[in-house]
């Protein structure tokens, strides 16, 4: 017997985060090419790392064990909305600094 679990809401969230991640990486690379200081241009990548942590950190903590999971379980509810907000802010900041739209 084959059971396929499909969640349109989770798929929409994943697609939104991945699109914002791609736009942020594109903007960071475009700003890096135009900047004299690469540390400022690469600052837009940090929200992208948070977005990756929002989906992969729970799986990693499951591998570490229940005590590690119990410490961070209260943060998981905040990681996804925080990642979304930071990716949006980062993209707006990149556009303000002159990054291309797409």
Boundaries of every domain in the chain:
43-97
The mean pLDDT of 59-86, rounded to a whole number, is 74
Q: Which residue has the tokens 């943060």?
A: 75
Angstrom distance (rounded) from CA 77 to CA 59: 14
Angstrom distance (rounded) from CA 65 to CA 84: 27
Residue 50: both structure tokens together: 């948070």
- pLDDT digit string, tens, across residues 19-58: 998 998 888 888 877 766 555 545 555 665 666 666 666 6
Q: What values do phi and psi take at 3, rounded to 5?
A: -120, 125
pLDDT at 80: 84
Instruction: Please report which confidence band the pLDDT of residue 60 belongs to, taking 50, 70 and 90 as the band edges.
Output: low
Q: What is the DSSP letter of 102?
A: -
Predicted model pTM: 0.62
Kindly report the length of the chain. Answer: 102
């Amino acid at each position: 017997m084959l059971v396929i679990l499909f969640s349109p809401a989770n798929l929409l969230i994943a697609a939104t985060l991945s699109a914002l991640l791609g736009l942020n990486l594109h903007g960071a690379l475009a700003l890096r090419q135009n900047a004299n200081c690469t540390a400022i241009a690469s600052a837009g990548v940090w929200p992208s790392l948070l977005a990756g942590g929002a989906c992969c950190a729970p799986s990693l903590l499951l591998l570490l064990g229940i005590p590690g999971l119990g410490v961070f379980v209260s943060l998981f509810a905040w990681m996804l909305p925080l990642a979304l907000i930071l990716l949006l802010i980062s993209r707006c900041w990149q556009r303000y600094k002159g990054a291309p739209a797409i």
